[in-house]
Each structure stands twice: as C-alpha cells, then as structure tokens.
Amino acid sequence: MKLFLRCFKPKFYKKSKSTTSYMKIRLDTVRKKRIAMVKFLKMDIVDFLNNGHDYNAYTRAEVLLEELRIISCYDIIERFCDCISQNLSLMLKKRECPEECREAVSTLIYAAAWVPDVPELKELRSVFMHRFGNFIASSVNHELVEKTELRRRPSQELKIQTVQEVAKEFSINWDPTALKLMLLRQNSTLQIEDKIEAEADDTKIERIVDEQSEDGSVLSQSWRRDSLSKSSLSSTSSSSFSSQRRESEEKTNKVLPYGLISPPYTKSRARNDEKAQEEKGEKEKSIDQETSRLLRPQGNDKDASSTRENEKTLSFQRPKLLEYDEVVARLATLRRG
C-alpha cells in the first residue's frame, strides 16, 4: 500500500524529494574537496612560518578564510535541505508555504544564484517558485547573506588571528610583532604614495583647466578678428557693389544720338590718359636706345652693321590705326557735308 501511494504522489513531492537527496550527495563531495584544500593551505602556512616567511603565511591566510567561508555556506544549505525533506508532507497539504519551511525555501532559492558548485539548487528553485511564487527577501537567512552578497575582504587582524590559530594547532611558537611592524610600514608608504598621486592629479587638473582657459581666450580673440574681417569684407563688398551699380545706372541713363555710337566731342578721359602714357613710354624707350648706342665701344664693321640693323628693327614702328570713335566721327562729318 505504501509503495502504491508513493507511486501516485504529486510531481512537486517527487521532484523536491529527489533534488534534496541528490543535493546532499553533491554537498558531501564538494565539501570533501574544500576540506582537503583547507588542509593543504594550513600545511603551506606551517612551512612558511618554519622558514621565517611570515608575510607569505599572512597572504595565504586570506585564501584559507575564503575556503572556510564556502564550507560554512555548504553547511547552511545542507541544514535547510534537511528541514525541507522533513516537512515535505506538510508542504504538500498546504497551497501556501508554511511558516516552518518559509526560511528554508527562501534561503535555498536565494542560494541558487550564489553557489554555482551545486546545480541542483536551480532545479529546486524552479519547483518552489512554480508552487509558491517568488521568495520573501526578509525571510532569507542573514548568515548566508553576509557570507555571499555582503562579503568583504578579511581584515589584517583576522588574517593574523588565523595564522596564530594555525600555529597553535601545529604547536609552533610564532610572534606576530615583526609582521605587524612590516604591515604598518607598508600602509604608511601606501598612504604617502596615494597623497603624492592625488597631488599630481590635482596639478594635472589645474594645468588642463589653465590650458583650456587659454585656448578659450585665444579662440575668442581669433573669433573676434574673424568677425571683424568678415564685417570689413562685407562692407567693402557692399560698397563696391553699390559703386558698380551706380556706374551701370549712369551708363544706362546716357542717351546716344546714333543708337550705340557716341559723338566725337564726348571722348572719355581715360582713353586720353592711356594715349599720354603710351607716348611717354615711347619717348623713354628712344632715349634709352640712344644712350646705349653712345655708351657702346666702337668695334668692327660687322658689329656696327648688326647694331644698326637692331636699331632699325627697334626704331621701326607700326603705323597707328584710327580708333573706332574717330572713324565714326569722320563718317558723320562726311554725311553732314
């Protein structure tokens, strides 16, 4: 009859019972490995103390404390696992989680995220959350929370205390005063280095701020210069544009008698100025040629003939052509006559 009832038990009962049994086996195997590691670390500390390497023993004590912390977490999980296996029948009768198992259920659901060495915790979490919903954070065991989530590095005093306990366990006379003095020196040097680094960082920050302020002033000055140059360019361009517009308007306002042909008595002054400049240039060229001819030494007849030919070529000038305005004026006079 009991075997028949066990076969027809609900899925929650079967799953939780099997996972808790497998979890105990897994915890035993993992705990054995951790205990062997603790023994190995203790032997290392003893060897360091015997050889006078106090600081190495001090650093190895931190690893030893970490292993002891994990073993204590395994002990808490196993204790709550036993509580659930004992109260499975009560949990099966009630739809909600009973008060006797509330702390155990919430702590095991919480431990699934912090203890990766036991994968059965994830299966148990899915079973409990499917039946009871999310766990209550206030009902989680505070000791497990301190050992997992609120974990901090052990202090110097705790490390020295663990080394002393290991020395007593193996009957070693060890005086921690030399180690304490060395740690004090290290702390003082570290504090001095931190102060120096902080001062250096402050000076760097001040330099960066000063450079940024100088760059900003230079940029503002260059921006002002650019703005002034742009304004001057815009003013000159506007003035030139206005002058060109006025000249074009004056040209358009002039009325020519013969369509586009201007009469002979309305010649521009600019053309007269150009003619005068050309005449001056020709006179200067002729004077330079005469002076160069006089200053040259007398040589052979061939040189003289070549110089004369050059002078002829230079003195040769093309006949001046009449300008368009003069031709038009003469035609007009002929028509009138």
What is the pLDDT confidence band of residue 74, given thresholds at 50, 70 and 90?
Answer: very high
Region 149-153: mean pLDDT is 73
Region 256-271: mean pLDDT is 45
117-128 pLDDT, tens digit per residue, is 899 999 998 888
| pTM of the complete model | 0.55
Residue spans per domain, the chain: 9-178, 269-336
Q: How far apart are CA 25 and CA 77, in angstroms?
A: 12
Q: 87-92: which pairs have CB atoms within 8 A and are 24 or more residues apart?
A: 88/13, 88/16, 88/17, 91/12, 91/16, 92/10, 92/12, 92/13
Q: How far apart are CA 121 and CA 118, in angstroms?
A: 6
What pLDDT does 116 receive? 87
What is the pLDDT confidence band of residue 274, given thresholds at 50, 70 and 90?
Answer: low
Return the SS3 of 322: coil
Q: Are 92 and 10 in contact (CB under 8 A)?
A: yes
What pLDDT does 131 receive? 85
Least confident of 34-38, 74-78, 155-159, 314-318: 314-318
187-235 pLDDT, tens digit per residue, is 888 778 777 877 776 676 767 766 666 655 655 565 555 555 555 545 5
pLDDT above 80: residue 310 = no
Region 3-23: mean pLDDT is 74
**What are the beta bridge partners of residue 258?**
261
- The amino acid at 313: T
Q: What is the CATH number of domain 9-178?
A: 1.20.1260.60
Those residues with Cβ within 8 angstroms of residue 246's Cβ, 6 or more apart along the chain or in another chain:
none
Q: Quick one: tokens of 248?
A: 């074009």
Helices marked H in the chain:
2-7, 11-51, 54-86, 88-93, 99-111, 120-132, 142-148, 156-169, 177-253, 269-295, 301-315, 324-336
Query: Which of 106-120, 123-137, 243-257, 258-272 is most confident?
Result: 106-120
Least confident of 31-35, 80-84, 152-156: 152-156
Region 9-31: mean pLDDT is 88
261 phi and psi, to 5 degrees?
A: -95, 130
Return the SS3 of 308: helix
Torsion of CA 59, 62, 67, 70, to 10 degrees: -160
Q: How far apart are CA 244 and CA 182, in angstroms?
A: 91
pLDDT above 70: residue 6 = no
What pLDDT does 230 receive? 54
pLDDT above 50: residue 253 = no
Percent of the chain with pLDDT over 70: 63
Percent of the chain with pLDDT over 90: 23
pLDDT above 90: residue 27 = yes
Q: Quick one: tokens of 146?
A: 């301190």
Q: 143-149: which pairs have CB atoms within 8 A and are 24 or more residues apart?
A: 143/76, 144/73, 144/76, 144/77, 144/107, 144/110, 144/111, 145/110, 147/69, 147/72, 147/73, 147/76, 148/73, 148/111, 148/114, 148/115, 149/114
Region 109-132: mean pLDDT is 89
